């Protein structure tokens, strides 16, 4: 078949800061999936996009081109309105776990297609796989049945959704083109639009432990994704939320599941509760559901949805969760007020304990992680336990402790504390 374009011409156009035409974008994405555009050619184009950017129109077209390489899911026949949520990831970010059953208990359907952790950010599927028997891989029929019966499902995305994104993401990872707003936005939104939910709430993290540590760049990313969603007919809005300090007190797979269950039982850390309920209200508003998510926690219906959702995917919600048996306590070196607990440092430490992975094929430890006993603003005394580490291999402790070096600060009482507000901004139509 005679190709309508040459890859080198498309690369040259973006290298020279030209706007790519619709036909150029459609062709180059499709041709890359078909193998006509070579890896080195797409690498060059990705770097040209990284350096020279894209217009909003180009980003929307690029996103749609990636969607068109695969399937689209259809939930229009479900008896409940569908709404989805996506987080850009962070440390201790277990919000999806209590959020999905809360929204389900309020009458929504949440088809949450989630991923695995990589580096210092945790993966929702890794967390849930610490529950005995729970499985991430579901057929479309199973997924639809659980959404109909329970209203919420958290599972792995099939290979048929935006296959261009999967291929391009792996390429970006090895060509230093990951931190590129047009490519990040189109990557996230291609999968979310293909998922087929009726609405989408984005949780864009910012701060030391976030992918977008600069709040201005986080806002730009959020605004770009909202634009893509609205242009595609997907009711989309975004919150910019803090990730300078870990969310909650648990970092690690089973530890975060346990903390999520505490929230569903009516307890748990205040920041996790607040962010979960805020996102739930946004999701219910998009879905047109008049319900109070806090009431779903109070009356036990959210916990009931959780138990049913876990059981429907083969898990035993009553089974004890694993915990690694090698334990190391980190003590406060002096008395005063904690003024810093860097989310990135804590995330890297948990990763080195075995809670995360360096490569997608690496295994993770269900029981490894960190429990925090104090956070910025708390008064601590010298010798007090400020965090507890868990791992399957005690030889991991030194490197984990190294990751925390300089990441926690305890200052004299009265020292000002600089923390981001939990919710910095809201971007909506």
Alpha carbon distance 264, 304 (integer Å): 9
pLDDT, averaged across the chain = 95
14 is catalytic: no
Nearest to 222 by CA among 173, 214, 287: 214
359 and 261 Cβ atoms separated by less than 8 Å: no
Catalytic residue among 14, 80, 86, 94: 86
The domain spans of the chain are 7-53, 84-158+177-319, 326-411
Catalytic hit among 14, 85, 116, 172: 172
pLDDT of residue 371: 98
Told to judge if 57 belongs to the known catalytic residues of this protein, a careful annotator would answer: no
Q: Is the pLDDT of residue 267 over 80?
A: yes
Q: How far apart are CA 137 and CA 158, in angstroms?
A: 8
Compute the C-alpha angle 255/258/264, nearest 5°.
145
Tens of pLDDT, residue by residue over 164-222, are 998 998 898 889 898 899 999 999 999 999 999 999 999 999 999 998 999 999 999 99
Which pLDDT does position 362 carry in this prediction? 79
CATH match for 326-411 among 3.30.420.130, 3.90.1170.30, 3.90.1150.10, 3.30.9.10: 3.90.1170.30
Q: What is the pLDDT of residue 160?
A: 86
pLDDT above 70 for 46: yes
Percent of the chain at pLDDT exceeding 70: 99
The per-residue pLDDT for 119 is 67
Fold of the domain built from segment(s) 84-158+177-319: Pyrimidine Nucleoside Phosphorylase; Chain A, domain 2 (3.40.1030)
| Integer angstrom CA distances of residue 293 from 101, 108, 241 | 10, 11, 19
- Residues 234-243: pLDDT tens digits? 999 999 999 9
The sign of the dihedral angle between the CA atoms of 135, 141, 147, 150 is negative
Judge whether 381 and 338 are in contact, CB under 8 Å. no
In the set 191, 219, 281, 352, the catalytic residue is: 191
Q: How far apart are CA 291 and CA 86, in angstroms?
A: 21
Contact 143, 114 (CB under 8 A): no
Encode pLDDT of 82-133 as tens digits. 999 999 999 999 999 999 999 999 999 999 998 877 667 778 999 999 999 9
pTM of the predicted structure, to 2 decimals: 0.95
pLDDT of residue 266 exceeding 90: yes
Q: How is residue 247 written in tokens? A: 């969310």
Q: Is 342 a catalytic residue?
A: no
120 catalytic? Reply is no
Specify whether the backbone of 337 is left (phi greater than 0), alpha (psi in -120 to 50) or beta: beta
Work out the average pLDDT over 258-274: 98
Q: What are the φ and ψ backbone dihedral angles of 235, each rounded to 5 degrees?
A: -65, 110
Mind listing the pLDDT tens digit for each residue in 57-75? Answer: 999 999 999 999 999 999 9
Q: Looking at 26, 84, 93, 165, which residue is catalytic?
A: 165
Q: Catalytic residue at 365?
A: no
**Whether pLDDT at 301 is above 80:** yes
187, 260, 305, 365: the active-site residue: 187
Q: What is the pLDDT of residues 142-155, one digit of tens each?
A: 999 999 999 999 99
């Amino acid at each position: 078949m005679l190709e309508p374009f040459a890859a080198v011409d498309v690369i040259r156009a973006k290298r020279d800061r030209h706007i790519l035409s619709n036909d150029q974008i459609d062709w180059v994405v499709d041709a890359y999936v078909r193998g006509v555009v070579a890896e080195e050619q797409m690498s060059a184009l990705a770097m040209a996009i990284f350096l020279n950017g894209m217009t909003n129109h180009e980003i929307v077209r690029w996103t749609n081109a990636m969607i068109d390489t695969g399937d689209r899911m259809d939930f229009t026949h479900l008896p409940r309105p569908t709404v989805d949520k996506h987080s850009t990831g962070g440390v201790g970010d277990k919000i999806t776990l209590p959020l999905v059953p809360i929204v389900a208990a309020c009458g929504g359907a949440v088809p949450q297609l989630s991923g695995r952790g990589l580096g210092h950010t945790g993966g929702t599927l890794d967390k849930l796989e610490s529950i005995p028997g729970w499985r991430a891989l579901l057929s479309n029929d199973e997924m639809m049945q659980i959404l109909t019966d329970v209203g919420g499902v958290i599972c792995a995305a099939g290979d048929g959704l935006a296959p261009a994104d999967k291929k391009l993401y792996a390429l970006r990872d090895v060509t230093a083109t990951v931190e590129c707003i047009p490519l990040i936005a189109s990557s996230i939104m291609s999968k979310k639009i293909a998922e087929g939910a009726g609405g989408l709430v984005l949780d864009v993290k910012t701060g030391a432990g976030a992918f977008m540590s600069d709040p201005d760049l986080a806002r730009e990313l959020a605004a770009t994704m909202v634009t893509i969603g609205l242009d595609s007919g997907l009711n989309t809005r975004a919150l910019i939320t803090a990730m300078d300090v870990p969310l909650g007190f648990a970092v690690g797979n089973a530890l975060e599941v346990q903390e999520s269950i505490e929230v569903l039982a009516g307890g748990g850390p205040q920041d996790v509760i607040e962010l979960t309920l805020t996102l739930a209200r946004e999701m219910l508003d998009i879905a047109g559901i008049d319900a109070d998510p806090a009431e779903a926690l109070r009356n036990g219906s959210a916990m009931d949805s959780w138990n049913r959702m876990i059981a429907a995917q083969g898990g035993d919600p009553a089974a004890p969760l694993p915990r690694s048996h090698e334990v190391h306590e980190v003590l406060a070196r002096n008395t005063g007020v904690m003024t810093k607990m860097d989310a990135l440092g804590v995330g890297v430490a948990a990763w080195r304990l075995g809670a995360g992975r360096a490569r997608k094929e690496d295994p993770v430890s269900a029981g490894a992680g960190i429990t925090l006993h104090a956070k910025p603003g708390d008064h601590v005394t010298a010798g007090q336990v400020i965090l507890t580490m868990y791992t399957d291999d005690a030889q991991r402790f030194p490197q984990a402790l190294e990751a925390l070096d300089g990441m926690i600060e305890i200052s004299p009482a009265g020292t000002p504390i600089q923390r981001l507000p939990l919710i910095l901004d809201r971007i909506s139509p």
